[in-house]
Amino acid sequence: MKISSGYWTGVVMVVTAAACYGIMSPVLKLAYEHAYTFQQITVHQAGIGAALLWILVLLRPNSWNKLEFGLRHWAALAFTGIFGLSMTTVLYNQTLERLDASFSIVLLFQFMWITILLESLRNRKWPTKWQWAAIVMAMAGTVLAAGLLQNNLRDMDWAGVGYGLASAFSYSLFLFLAGRVAPGYDPVFKSALMMSFGFIVILIMYGSATFQGSAGLQWKLMGWGFALGLLGQVMPTVFFNAGIPRVGSGLASMLGATELPFAVISAWLILGEPITLTGTGGILLILGGIVVAEYGARLRRQAA
C-alpha cells in the first residue's frame, strides 16, 4: 500500500500529542510540590485550557460557517465535557496529589480494558478472545508496574488508587462518547465547547477556594495553568485531531499508548521517581495488551 505524503507527519503529530499528555503528569506533580492546592491547579488548568481552545476557534475563521446550535448536540457535548473531560481532570489531579506520577498514569491507563467492556455492553456481546487477552495483560502489567508484589498493601494510599481508577472510568466514558456526539461539528469547536461546560462545573465546585491570596500568587498560578492547559488540553486536541485522519484510528491508538512510557520517563527526569525492572515489565505488558486488542480488532475488520 502506498504511504501518503502526510503519513509520517501524522505519526509525529499523534506521538507528540501522547508525549504532551505524558509530560503533563510530572509537571502537575511539580506544581503540587510548590505548595499549590488541588483546587487552585484544577481551576486554572481547566479555565486556561478552555480559553486557549476558544482562541484557536477564533483564529480559524474558515470553520465558522460550520458552527451551529442544536440543543440535542450541545446537551450531548455538555454531558461529555462534564462527566468525561472535567471529571477526568478532577479525579486524575486528586490521584497525582496522593500518588507518584508514574503509578498515577498506570492507573489512568486502565481506561483500555474499561473501554473494551463499555463497547461490549453497548454491542451486547462478550469480549472476544483477543480482548480478554488484552484485559489479562493489562491487569498483570498493572500489578507489576504498581509494585504490588513488593510493597506492603497496607501502606498503599487506597483513596488515591480509587481516584485513579475513577479517572480511568471517566476517561473511558469520554473516549466512548467523544466520537459519537455531534459528529458534524468542527473538532476544535467541539473540544472548546466540552472544555467550557466542564470548566463551569469545576468553577462551581472549587472556585471559592481558588482565587485567594496575593496578586503575585495568582499570576504564578496562571503560569502553571497555562503550562498544564497547553500540555493537557490544547496541544493533544490539535495534534490528535490533525494526526489521526492521516494514520487511521488503529495505528493512532497504539501510537497514543506511548503516553505511558513518556510519563514514566518524564517522572524520572523531572521528579527523580525510580524506574524499576518490574515496573518496566508491567508497562510493556500494558502496551502489549493495547497491541493485542488492536490486532484482534483488525482481524475482525478484515473478516467483515
What's the pLDDT tens digit per position in 65-77? 666 667 888 898 8
Mean per-residue pLDDT of the chain = 83
Cα 175 from Cα 72, distance rounded (Å): 19
Q: Is the pLDDT of residue 127 over 50?
A: yes
CB atoms within 10 A of CB 163: 23
DSSP secondary structure letter of residue 120: H
The mean pLDDT value for 262-274 works out to: 89
Residue carrying C-alpha cell 486556561: 48
Query: What's the start-to-end Cα distance of the chain, in Å?
Result: 20
Residue 52: pLDDT band by 50, 70, 90 thresholds?
very high
Which residues have a Cβ under 8 Å from the Cβ of 131 and sit 6 or more positions away? 116, 120, 293, 296
At 122 the pLDDT is: 82
* pLDDT value for 1: 44
pLDDT of residue 4 exceeding 60: no
More confident residue, 156 or 79: 79
* Res 153: pLDDT: 63
To which residue does cell 478552555 refer? Answer: 50
Contact 176, 111 (CB under 8 A): no
Report the C-alpha dihedral over residues 95, 98, 103, 107, rounded to 10 degrees.
-30
Nearest C-alpha neighbor of 106 from the set 149, 161, 145, 157: 145
Model confidence over 179-206: pLDDT tens digits?
Answer: 677 777 777 888 888 889 999 999 999 8
pLDDT, mean of residues 149-156? 68
Please give the Cα distance from 282 to 264 (Å, whole number). 12
Residue 162 — pLDDT band, cuts 50, 70, 90?
Answer: very high
Please give the DSSP secondary-structure letter assigned to residue 185.
S
User: Per residue in 278-293, pLDDT tens?
Assistant: 888 888 888 888 888 7
